[in-house]
Amino acid sequence: MGVDSNNILEVKNIEVVYDNVILALHDVSLVVPKGKIVALLGANGAGKSTTLKSISTMLASERGKVTKGTINYNGKSIDGEIPSQMVHRGMVQVLEGRRCFGHLTVEENIIAGAYSRQLSKGDLSAELEKIYTYFTRLKDRRGSQAGFTSGGEQQMIAVARAMMAKPTMLLLDEPSMGLAPQLVAEIFNIVKELNQKEGVSILLAEQNTNIALKNADYGYILETGRVMLEGTAQSLSNDEKVKELYLGISKGERKNFRDALFDDAQKKNTTAPSPTGRKFKIGGPILEVKNISLYFGGVKAITNISFNILKHEIRAIIGPNGAGKSSMLNCINGIYQPQEGTIWYKGAVLDQITPNLISRMGISRTFQNLALFKRMSVLDNILVGRKLHTKSNFMQVGFQFPQAVKEEKANRQKCEEIISFLEIEDIKNTQVGKLPYGLQKKVELGRALATQAEILLLDEPMAGMNVEEKRDMCRFILKVNDELGTTIVLIEHDMGVVMDISDRVVVLDYGKSIGDGTPDVVRANPKVIDAYLGVAHD
Amino acid sequence: MISELLFFMEVLVAGLLSGTMYSLVALGFVLIYKASSTFNFAQGAMVFFAVLSFVGLMEFGIPFFVAFIITVVLMIGVGLATERLVLRPLMNQSEDTLLMATIGLGFVLEGLAQAVWGVEVRRLDLGIKDSPIPWIADNLQLFISALDVTAGLVATAMIVGLTLLFKYTKIGLGLRSVADDAGAASSIGIPLKHIMLLVWSAAGVVALVAGMMWGARAGVQFALIDLALKALPVLIIGGFSSIPGAIIGGLLIGASEKILEVYIGPYFGGGIEGWAPYVLAIFFLLYRPEGLFGEKIIRRV
């Protein structure tokens, strides 16, 4: 058990407990050799972030504690250290979700990274220039307020900021989260370059197994707080088990996604969308968008878009980041009022609509970045969705009028049904904020279902999920559509999943519609291929 | 006609100048709000504690400047103790918890000040008269108090100083980073406890200066604590996290309460100065909850 001087980091058998009760890591051991990139893989809630935070000592700020095991960094234990001391010792963590200082400029953000160092003015600007050579895109935006830069730029800011502390080791938490493929590639190129030119050792937590293994030297796969598998990046990416777990099953084996989900479910002994298809046949148009344009000041977010949504169908709106997908959804449910064009719902023009009104008319939605009541239980969150169907007022409820009691019972009954429909009975009384992300998304879906809407608008229901969780979500979306007949409109930027479950797809790029039709038609459309593979637009 | 206009000018200027006194108090709140995202209910007690200690020391015959320096050191000590005994144990607790803790801290400081120095109202003589400046009165026919002018100048100086500190120094950058995202700030090695200590000490010094200005006008007494709460409407109007907001908010409140008092007050039987600012604040809460200069909550739907 001697300290190996070739390893910059050695983690041995650590156990981590949150709030004195919740066991997050059971027995995790890993090493990072000097100058290497090591990937930490696994689903949401597997313990990746917890592992990184144990190492950077940021754990204490979340009421977590390393209760067993040892962590040695640069040959010395990290016992009793606090984050600012770890930075002095040359270890910097880039937190999950980028966490830029939104009100500071891009350059101020980066300079803040050098806080722990005593630099003269000249040295500081020399360091800054050096950082800009890696992050050329940031140099152009140095004066902008960081909160208004794109997700990819914010990720770059976070990495650049960390580099200003001149680390010997970087802990990167989910740098690819929620970013379009080209951007992820760009960021990983920079990370690789930093590793090679600056000699920084890197421990990288990623859900995107593919890109992580492409760039790492070695990998560990975590599952529910334990290391399940480890090996060189090469051996892991060829491992059948890994392929099945995280990369999805190889293409070609799968003719019908519904059938496949059915097989999955049988293995797990749960219900699946019926393989024979849906109970409700697709009908005529229920919602029509006609020549919509939306501006923010002088910026055109949406230009002259038209499409329709048929009753009982699953309709996807896809497109790269910034294509106008969320804006489109916001127009449909009345958050934005488009300056031009009309939206027709059940044969009538939707005019002067508000989100409140629209949900009364039977259109419900979920949000990209979750809008749940974090301190309430799952059941209570879903009950909120029943508000629309509650007629008794607070006095009647307060004094327990018979009619109010009856209504309350009916509402609870309905919610119980939804909970069992979504197979979340076991977490019914859990506080939502404590659930992993994937489950929270499911609760949000449950709340939208509770409104008994005719149309569900789902904003990136699968963002930030791994392949397994995505498949699970797909299963429920199909189930809702099959069994309840709910019309579903969903936004995604991951093409693969959408193509499998949608009846028809409309593709947006730079606020314009560039394709509309069945998945096969859209897939073959050269404009769509361009937009996704990043062939030059100009 | 001319005399009416002059009278209006006089009311306006007096209002604006007394507004700077509100700004001074509000400044202390803003400092702490920026660093801990919490409304420091103890700020009023800090004003009272600081100026009472200062007057108490002067009564021992300690010269003005020495007493000032000792009180500054004392307020830094209060900052240090607060960081150590209140903030550090409550780290990672919710902002609500911190808010409650500041209420408690307020009571402790109030009690401590009175236990040490007694409860009677004291006079504070800064050597500046709270009476019209003769030169201005003679030449412009405006009656403007010398104390008001001094308070205005002091407030301006402090505000300029703090703004420069935040904008151009390393510690200022650190403070703004912590204000934005304390977790991220500590991840890049910004020591939170140093920043907290600095901020609470600065707020203590600001409290002392504000207390001296108010004390010279109204006497050093318990009521100063309530007076400090006038900073609440100032902050609602100006924005909790903005230094320029505190100034403009203070001026607006100062001017409007005087003008309302003089021109509309009689219809209500006078004394509307006490509540008019809160009415104004309610309008802001309804139509512009982030205040004039507060940081807009950046959130995507």
Residue A159 shares a structural domain with residue A228: yes
**pLDDT for res A200:** 95
Among all chains, which residue has been given the structure tokens 């769509």?
A528
- The pLDDT assigned to A494 comes to 67
Residue B243, min C-alpha distance to chain A (Å): 15
| A197's tokens | 């030119």
A174 lies in the same domain as A188: yes
- Contact by Cβ (8 Å): B267, B276: no
Is the predicted pLDDT of residue A44 greater than 80, yes or no?
no
Q: A63, B177: Cβ pair inside 8 Å?
A: no
Residue A529 pLDDT more than 80?
no
CATH of residue A493's domain is 3.40.50.300
Task: Tell me the nearest-neighbour CA distance from A82 into chain B, angstroms.
Answer: 9
Q: Does A103 share its domain with A213?
A: yes
Taking the CA of residue B92 and the nearest CA in chain A, the distance in Å comes to 6
Question: What does the pLDDT look like over A159-211, one tens digit per residue?
Answer: 999 999 999 999 999 998 877 777 888 999 999 999 999 999 999 998 777 78
How far is Cα A350 from Cα A352, in angstroms, rounded to an integer? 7
When pLDDT is averaged across residues A317-323 and rounded to a whole number, the result is 78
Residue A110 forms contact with B (CB below 8 Å): no
Pairwise pLDDT comparison (A111 vs A359), residue with the higher score = A111
Same domain, A99 and A187: yes
For residue range A112-137, list pLDDT tens digits in order: 999 999 989 999 999 999 999 999 98
Q: In this predicted structure, what is the pLDDT of residue A132?
A: 95
Q: Do A115 and B176 touch (CB under 8 A)?
A: no
Residue A458 and residue A464: Cα distance in Å, rounded?
14
Domain boundary (A212, A247, A282) is at: A247
pLDDT at A1: 45
User: What's the mean pLDDT when you consider all of chain A?
Assistant: 84
Percent of chain A topping pLDDT 70: 88
pLDDT values of chain B reduced to their tens digit, one per residue, 301 residues? 678 888 888 888 888 888 888 888 888 888 888 887 788 889 989 999 999 999 999 888 889 899 999 999 999 999 889 888 988 888 777 778 888 999 999 999 999 998 988 888 888 877 777 777 777 777 777 777 888 888 888 888 888 888 898 889 999 999 989 888 888 999 999 998 888 888 988 999 999 998 888 888 878 888 888 777 888 888 888 888 788 888 888 899 989 988 888 888 888 877 787 788 888 888 888 887 777 776 655 444 4
CA-nearest of B243, B135, B229, B233 to B179 is B243
Return the minimum-mean-pLDDT range out of A250-259, A266-275, A490-499, B40-49.
Answer: A250-259
Domain ranges within chain B, ordered by starting residue: 2-120+170-287
- Pairing relation of β-strands A37-41 and A201-206? parallel
Q: Do A165 and B180 touch (CB under 8 A)?
A: no
So what's the pLDDT on residue B295? 62
**Closest Cβ–Cβ partner in B179, B188, B300 for A161:** B188
pLDDT at residue B49, rounded to an integer? 92
Alpha-carbon dihedral sign for residues B222, B225, B228, B233? negative
A1 falls within a domain: no
Residues of chain B found within 8 Å of residue A491, distances taken between Cβ atoms = none
Question: Which amino acid, residue B257?
Answer: E
Diameter of chain A by CA atoms? 77
In a domain, A2, yes or no: no
Q: 152-211 in A: which are within 8 Å (CB) of B?
A: 158, 161-162, 164-165
**Gap from A57 CA to chain B (nearest CA, Å):** 9
pLDDT-derived band at A538 (thresholds 50, 70, 90) equals very low
Beta-carbon separation of A87 and B188 below 8 A: yes
Torsional class of A395: left (φ above 0), alpha (ψ -120 to 50), beta (otherwise): alpha
Interchain contact, A116 vs B180, CB within 8 Å: no
The answer to whether the beta carbons of residues A53 and A64 sit under 8 Å apart is yes
Residues B253 and B22 sit within 8 Å (Cβ to Cβ)? yes
pLDDT of residue B224: 83
In a domain, A367, yes or no: no
Residues of A in contact with B181 (CB under 8 A): 99-102
* Domain housing A298: 255-362+453-538
| Contacting B residues, span 152-211, partner chain A, CB-CB under 8 Å | 170, 173-174, 176-177, 179-181, 183-192
Q: What is the DSSP letter of A173?
A: E
Nearest residue of B to residue A158, measured between CA atoms: B184
Question: Exposed, middle or buried: residue B135 (CB in 10 Å: 0-12, 13-18, 19+)?
Answer: exposed
In a shared domain, residues A445 and A502: no
Torsion of CA B111, B115, B116, B119, to 10 degrees: 90
Same domain, yes or no: A438 and A471: no
Nearest CA in chain B to A103: B180
Last residue of one domain, picked from the residues A413, A434, A452: A452
In this prediction the ipTM stands at: 0.79
Highest mean pLDDT among A36-40, A78-82, B30-34: A36-40
Q: How distant is the Cα of B34 from the closest Cα of chain A, in angstroms?
A: 12
Decide: A152 and A186 in contact? Cβ < 8 Å. Answer: yes
Residue A394: CB partners within 8 Å, gap ≥ 6? none
Same domain? A102 vs A74: yes
Of A194, A214, A247, which residue sits at a domain end? Answer: A247
Which token pair is B105? 């801290």
Q: Are B180 and A101 inside 8 Å of each other by CB?
A: yes
Q: At what angle do helices B276-287 and B231-238 cross, to 10 degrees?
A: 30
Amino acid at position A373, single letter: F
Instruction: Tell me the pLDDT band of A12, cut-offs 50, 70 and 90.
Output: very high
Distance CA B274, CA B257 (A): 8
- In chain A, the number of structural domains is 3
- Chain A hits for B174, CB-CB cut-off 8 Å, are 112, 115
Picking from B92, B171, B177, B188 by the largest number of A CB atoms within 10 A of its own CB, the best residue to mutate is B188
Distance CA B255, CA B251 (A): 6
Residue A65, in any domain of the structure: yes
- Checking if the pLDDT of A69 tops 90, the result is yes
Please determine, for residue A250, whether its predicted confidence score (pLDDT) is greater than 50: no
Q: How confident is the model at residue A267 (pLDDT cuts 50, 70, 90)?
A: low
Average confidence (pLDDT) over A68-87? 92
Query: In the structure encoding, which two tokens stand for residue A434, read together?
Result: 């404590």
A173 and A59 in a common domain: yes
Q: Answer yes or no: are the C-beta atoms of A270 and A416 closer than 8 Å.
A: no
Same domain, A472 and A509: yes
Q: Residue A276's pLDDT is what?
A: 57
Rounded to a whole number, what is the distance in angstroms from the first to the last CA of chain A? 59
Interface test with B, best of A95, A164, A337 (most B CBs within 10 A): A95
pLDDT of residue A71: 95
| Domain-embedded: residue A241 | yes
Q: Indicate if A68 and A184 belong to the same structural domain.
A: yes
**pTM for the whole structure:** 0.68
| Confidence band, pLDDT 50/70/90 cuts, at residue A273 | low
How confident is the model at residue B296, as a pLDDT?
A: 58
- Range name among A264-278, A397-411, B254-268 with the lowest pLDDT average: A264-278
Q: Report the pLDDT averaged over residues A455-469.
A: 81
Q: Is residue A368 part of a domain?
A: no
User: What pLDDT score does B17 carry?
Assistant: 82
Please tell me the distance from the alpha carbon of residue A345 to that of residue A456, in angstroms, as a whole number.
14
Q: What are A217's two structure tokens?
A: 């030297």
pLDDT-derived band at A431, boundaries 50, 70, 90? confident
Please tell me whether residues A199 and A289 are part of one structural domain: no
- pLDDT value at residue B301: 45
Separation CA A507–CA A325 (nearest Å): 9
- Assign A277 a pLDDT band (cuts: 50, 70, 90): low
Query: Does residue A207 share a domain with residue A108?
Result: yes
